[in-house]
Structure 1
């Protein structure tokens, strides 16, 4: 067992001391440098005046933590988790226990320059996030906790992450920065800001990074490593003052990434794998034991390619001292091509020449796995009365997301032996006799329309009340033509629709030749529409200029959606949450100066969109007596075996309660201590029944149900009970001619957490030897990370900054996500090893 105790005790003592020491000085004088500005309510405000639980990072803090992806941001943010099951650049967020499962709309929306991330819905998580190379040249990143559905464009139940880029200024300035490090890290950043005219300002930035992967591929098949980095990001920002009161702000973003992608490591074998595949998996596990970061790939050409670009235009008209009108319009495109072994198996293992694939995914030739455009339009009117007694916002929001071109198409061999996947050279004569080949064809359209109003009225100089309401109309439609291919004769494909028993008007089945010639014969269309109000009521009391006490109630809502590739589980309805929260924000100055913010919350979560893990009757057909163990499979013919997949159903009710603390202390000149802490207590209160569609095996015989990744009385996924981060930074008292030299250390800890619900296919299935959740490997282990930084700004009085960094100093090893036991083994996404490097930055201009 690894020794984590000393680090945990140190961090716990620091947190306790901070909390106790801060309390007596909350009412003291304001901190002179308390100037953090946020836009959590769509207007610039001091952080300490906003009645929302928020964690904020500036660009230097992001650099010190080596944050370049969404997953790395989550590592250092209490309450925020990342689902990196499909790689660092396909990460989705979980906040306060609200998680995006499968093809649901994100429960945590990501915004860049006030515009929501572009839509994307493919076979794996991708899009809907920060985007490639988004974490450079930022003013700050703000993590807003709790539903933000009143003022923000898209309704969410968990919260929002706001990325605020640096805006062009009126100074000629810029910088170039280079970084080098282990794993052959090479990074270049360059930014130039030019005031072309008094009324025209331009800012151009470039971020280019490459790094070898830290997962060693020992199979000799495919690339030498995985989890590598290779991206380019370009950002052009232009501000034009059309009149003294009319500003136009345009941002053009482009990001491109081309890597080997992710790869899970197989680490245990379950009882369910009783056929010839067991020998393969045992050999694979044995072959990778030499090094923790060894994996064994069997896919000939794995890769992940992402291209994303966006255009954002914001026009602001200050009609008067008390009225501002803003229009925010955007257009974005997202494309992803990914070829990967989802479950980490190597079908070539142990001398096998006819490779077996559990589930692989790759784009069909000439197609993308995911390909979507998104247009948004938002109008805001912000006003106040002359005496500032009443402030208000009203607005409207429109979002239209369309497929870029035709169907997005993926190939996916499923429990089958293939020597040439793209040429359909496959057969069922190897490990299993029930495999098939899936071709997923889909396209989705989203239309989101919202109108909102929110206002704050000062009852007295110290007491205010805020009320907000929003009405949202959401429509999601999907068209799919999923097909599957059988190989009754080796290397001779027979085509069928993925829906069991498709029929013509005369009730005769489509032939293989008909489907091969025209896959759209298998077309299905699904549509989900909903309209819901959301609201907010908040009471603020400021007994002192630097103390804010608030209490609020909010209704959150997340739209329903569709997935046309999941037979029998293609649609799901909206979910809702009622939030009750109280909080304190304070600034203080005196013997010790700093800030102390605390929030306590309770969520009542209903109609919850939960993952439902489906296993085809074909998955268990090799097991003797399987129709007795799985009665739903009795009488089901092989042609009716649908693809195993993850579906979504409105099957849960939960409660979520917790406490969050964000604090900063300066005990004496030169030393600053920042602490963030979150305690989460989540519990599933009930799970509703879901009917078993034709062709699926029920996974919990006691209730004849399809399996979910949660259970009544248990926790929600990705919700560790305790998580905290402590950063201490000391700046040496040196003369300005020497520069500013700062030493800092950041320690983070999070408790063990239940993993992704997508990975618990055999929960409670006696056949797998599992009778309770405690026997499953899907719990994520505790995580501890220690990072060290040295920053020397203004080296010897020159406009040069030097930085040295080390992340995961103690070489902690843990998995951050599991990919599932659906096929008889467990595989996991591994954390980053120790990373170190140096940065050199040259600043120029006025």
Structure 2
């Protein structure tokens, strides 16, 4: 998936628990799926599934950030960028493709040209690499969102060097209930979402249907001459989910969730940010107005643009997931998780952000991306030795096939499109992986009272991967390549309950990012294939929950250091007498940092929270001279050095009028690089800060009705948050993606049923 997107742009040339309010235990957890309400107790038990079983967040020795639906609304988390803004060490990569295709990076681990992602998204416990989850229109009717930081190489379906992001849908309940929520705001922003829960046969057949529809005008406008008045960065999506739980007999449960997502927009509003004078001199022989394009853009500002391509971004996606569990007595459970999905994306995109045909792509009637994915995971979970041992063993496999033809019908990258016609570019990607795994936690305190509070965890996973790539440029034959790899991952953890409310841990683990094949490179070359990346780290954490007089507090701190081997980068190499851009193992590096989260309830009704992360990342060794030529002095990408958020919520009863809720949140990060090498012109995206706030009434008139006025980016910050750097390439330009402007509106929610 990522290989295709990056090839499109480059072919031819803490432990953070904040807001520490995730899924809470019991009925409160299920009621929290109503986004109109607020959490009744910020320090209620928080249940996460970071180790594939339900555990209290304050006890689990894993770095997790978790959000309930209510907190997602309060913090205005509606897309990938806003999720990253509110999660320390998480960064979202924009630019060079439609905005909804932004990628995640966590603790410096993200995508790279020709390689797999370092952060894997999960929906209903199924890994999903198709860039669906986290985009606008996918945050409705969720039980929670969890960001699990650090290498994940044992229990989860796919290896991830940076971490996992878990999107857990609300499951059917044994109650008639539901909610509906609508909002309207500036830019004609109109959205409606809701859910209906039906116990068709109480305790036996439970049904839940949910969906969301959204429309919003774009905030970036084309001034012409080609598409005057067309708006970009608009929204037009619809999504629906159906969940069905069957309990045919005691100890047997089958949960199936099916979903469909569709989005059809005008694409992102990339803004011209720089022009290379040297390249412009040549371009000017064909397009004399190139010299005035940058000045014209700067005069218009970042919300007015001029394109030569009629942009469009269309996504169709559907998926079916089944989770079946069978109790094999009091101490064993067999679980099976299977899924199938199809993803289709078509888009036309103007990379150069000018009215000149310098860089862009057109997919027309065929999709650019067309993967079909099947996954299967079998787990045996259980306890032993009077529940002193908690274990999970199993196997995992996935298969990704490609529905063709798929690719770009017309690809332009000056002088292609000027001296020769735009070229077609087609690609087939097929991948498969298999793994076996086992992990166990031993509570030594159950076995020996003298060791009360001390636990040990160990896990191993062996993974086999196979990938196939076939690339057709202009005309057949296709250039094909295959790559096979296998590796062993481990986890080892010691954690200790120092006292009531104070928990410490130390963990060591590793994970891999798959290697691959450079298709155009002939067999026998040293650059034909590139090995997997490996990140091994050590993390120490403290989780504390305490009372100071009448105040309640929570403090979570984590410090980590990771050694990063076989870092994949793209270098120019002599291959059979020809210089080719190849992905290769280019360097080693070190990534270390600290993540802090704090929350405080000074008095009933007021909750204050804040978080901070610091990342220090650098290359420690380059493989050879050609690697050094592009990496020496290069910034380490995706690692904002400092990032923090501060916020608070105040709730007060107003009698029959309802319950007043005031909420504000400010987030800020320092400058950050997305450059993979030192050859990039636009080396750093600037730092920025955003302020969001809302004021609302819940339980209006004693009824389950809520009314809220909200505002995002209240100071109307306009800063670049993404970049496509073609400065040194033929087009000689840099395109920038900007923050969304100030938005405001009203939302109304209503709950019904039990």
TM-score (norm: length of structure 1)? 0.79
Contact 2:308 2:354 in 1 (8 A): no
CA distance in 2, matches of 1:808, 1:407: 38
- 1:529 is aligned to 484
Using the alignment, how far apart are the partners of 2:669 and 2:260 within structure 1?
34
Aligned positions, number: 696
Q: Secondary structure at the match of 1:720?
A: coil
552, 556, 568: which one aligns with 1:593? 552
CA distances 1:635-672 after superposition (whole Å, capped 9, x unpaired): 99xxx898xxx753221211001000122211111110
Q: Tell me, which stretches of 5 or more residues in structure 2 are unaligned?
A: 1-40, 445-450
Q: What SS does the corresponding residue of 1:111 show, helix, strand or coil? A: strand
2:272 matched to which residue of 1? 266
Q: What residue number does 1:618 align with? A: none
Contact 1:577/1:605 (CA < 8 Å) preserved in 2? yes
Alpha-carbon spacing, 1:778–1:282, altered in 2? closer, same or farther (3 Å) = farther
Q: Is the aligned partner of 1:340 residue 2:298? A: no
Contact 1:311 1:331 survives alignment (8 Å): yes
Larger Rg: 1
Give the distance between the partners of 1:403 and 1:161, measured in 2 at CA: 25
Check conservation: 2:705, 2:749, Cα contact below 8 A. yes
Residue 219 (structure 2) aligned to one of 214, 227, 234: 214
| Alignment equivalent of 1:307, drawn from 313, 316, 329 | 316
* Matched-pair contact (CA < 8 Å) for 2:504–2:541: yes
1:566–1:84 CA distance, 2 compared to 1 (3 A): farther
Distance 2:520 2:213 in 1: 36
Residue 746 (structure 1) aligned with residue 665 (structure 2) = yes
* 1:839 aligned to which of 720, 727, 747: 747
Q: Deviations over 1:424-479 (max 9, x none)?
A: xxx52xxxxxx553321111111110110000112232111100000000111112
Counterpart in the other structure of 2:541: 583
Contact 2:496–2:503 under 8 Å retained in 1: yes
SS of the residue aligned with 1:779?
coil
Cα RMSD for the two superposed structures: 2.5
The residue correspondences of 1:199-238 to structure 2 (distance < 5 A) are 199-222=204-227, 224-238=230-244
Q: Quick check: 1:109–1:128 contact (8 Å CA) kept in 2? A: no
Partner of 1:624: none
Distance 1:308 1:371 in 2: 10
Matches within 5 A, 1:115-126: 115-119=126-130
**Correspondence for 2:12:** none
How much does 1:251 deviate? 0.3
Equivalent residue number for residue 59 of structure 1: 69
CA contact (8 A) 2:479 2:520 kept: no
Task: Tell me the residue number matched to 1:72.
Answer: 82
Residue 314 of structure 2 aligns to a residue whose secondary structure is strand
Secondary structure of 2:505's counterpart equals strand
Q: Which residue of 1 aligns with 2:33?
A: none
- SS across alignment from 1:742: strand
User: Which residues in structure 2 correspond to 1:273-288 (within 5 Å)?
Assistant: 273-277=279-283, 279-288=288-297
Q: Which whole-Å CA distance do the structure 2 matches of 1:206 and 1:269 have between them?
A: 44
Partner of 1:96: 107
- Tell me, what secondary structure is at the counterpart of 2:565? strand
Contact 2:309/2:350 (<8 A) preserved: no
**1:575 to 1:276, Cα distance in 2 relative to 1, 3 A:** closer
Contact preservation (8 Å) 1:407, 1:442: yes
Q: Is the contact between residue 351 and residue 735 of structure 2 (CA under 8 Å) also seen in structure 1?
A: no
1:476–1:704 distance in 2 versus 1, CA, 3 Å: closer
Say if 2:276 is the partner of 1:318.
Answer: no
Quick check: 1:409–1:440 contact (8 Å CA) kept in 2?
Answer: yes
Partner of 1:785, secondary structure, is: strand
Residue 122 of structure 2 is matched in structure 1 by: 111
Structure 2 CA distance for aligned equivalents of residues 403 and 706 of structure 1: 36
CA contact (8 A) 1:613 1:706 kept: no
| Residues 377-396 of structure 1 aligned to structure 2 (within 5 Å) | 377-385=376-384, 387-396=386-395
2:473 paired residue number: 482
CA-CA distance at 1:135 after TM superposition: 0.9
d(CA) in 1 for partners of 2:534, 2:129: 23
CA contact (8 A) 1:730 1:742 kept: yes
Determine if the alignment matches structure 1 residue 161 to structure 2 residue 165: yes
Distance in 2 between residues matched to 1:261 and 1:612, nearest whole Å: 31
Q: CA deviation at 1:67?
A: 2.3
Within a 5 Å distance, the mapping from 1:666-745 to structure 2 comes to 666-689=601-624, 708=630, 711-712=631-632, 714-735=634-655, 737-745=656-664
Report deviation, 1:269: 2.4
Query: What SS does the aligned partner of 2:291 have?
Result: helix
Normalised by the size of structure 2, how large is the TM-score? Answer: 0.88
Quick check: 1:231–1:258 contact (8 Å CA) kept in 2?
yes
SS of match in other structure, 2:358: strand
Equivalent position of 1:471 in the other structure: 462
CA distance in 2, matches of 1:410, 1:256: 22
Any idea what SS the aligned residue of 1:238 has? Answer: strand
Partners of 1:271 and 1:161 lie apart in 2 by 42
Matching residue within 178, 189, 193 for 1:185? 189
**Mean CA deviation greater in 132-141 or 801-810:** 132-141
Against the structure 1 CA distance between its residues 32 and 480, is the aligned structure 2 distance closer, same or farther, given a 3 Å change threshold? closer
Does the 8 Å CA contact 1:84/1:91 hold for their aligned counterparts? yes
